[in-house]
Amino acid sequence: MRRGRRIAVDVGDARIGVASCDPDGILATPVETVPGRDVPAAHKRLVAIVEEYEPIEVVVGLPRSLNGREGPAAAKVRTFARELARRVAPVPVRLVDERMTTVTASQGLRASGRTAKKGRSVVDQAAAVVILQSALETERVSGRAPGEAVEVVI
């Protein structure tokens, strides 16, 4: 397991959840919810978060259907991740499978007593936490960085 903090991003149309982990990669915690409708502003805020947290990588959740196929949402996230990778270089950006993370996060919030209305902005952060915990576990088990690297195009 590589040592170093990571940032996870759950990209949505309205909001972008952000999470971080400790330098030992043990525990992921919510950071904030970034408004997602203004993509250039969202990228600017994410760059600021990366500069503040100084992660070894940024992990972006890639939405796939249950059968593993990629649709329009995945294409949108790939475009978002490529631009983010360009802006945060040399910090690497990786795409990881995020199937069911929002569902898992929502169930966890409901179990803790959060209502859907109160939890909308928090669910995106919770989904980013789930994405990051999954990526950390994948790396712990496999010994390799999770997901696929996003190539930086300048």
pTM over the 0.75 mark? yes
Q: Residues, the chain, total?
A: 154
Structural domains in the chain plus CATH codes: 6-140 (3.30.420.140)
Task: Give the Cα separation of 83 and 124 in Å (integer).
Answer: 20
What pLDDT tens digit does each residue of the chain (154 aa) get? 899 999 999 999 899 999 999 999 999 999 999 999 999 999 999 999 999 999 999 999 999 877 778 889 999 999 999 999 999 999 999 999 987 555 555 556 566 666 555 566 688 898 999 999 999 999 999 999 999 999 987 6
For 37, 93, 101, 107, 147, the CA distances from 150, given in Å and listed in that order, are 22, 6, 21, 30, 10
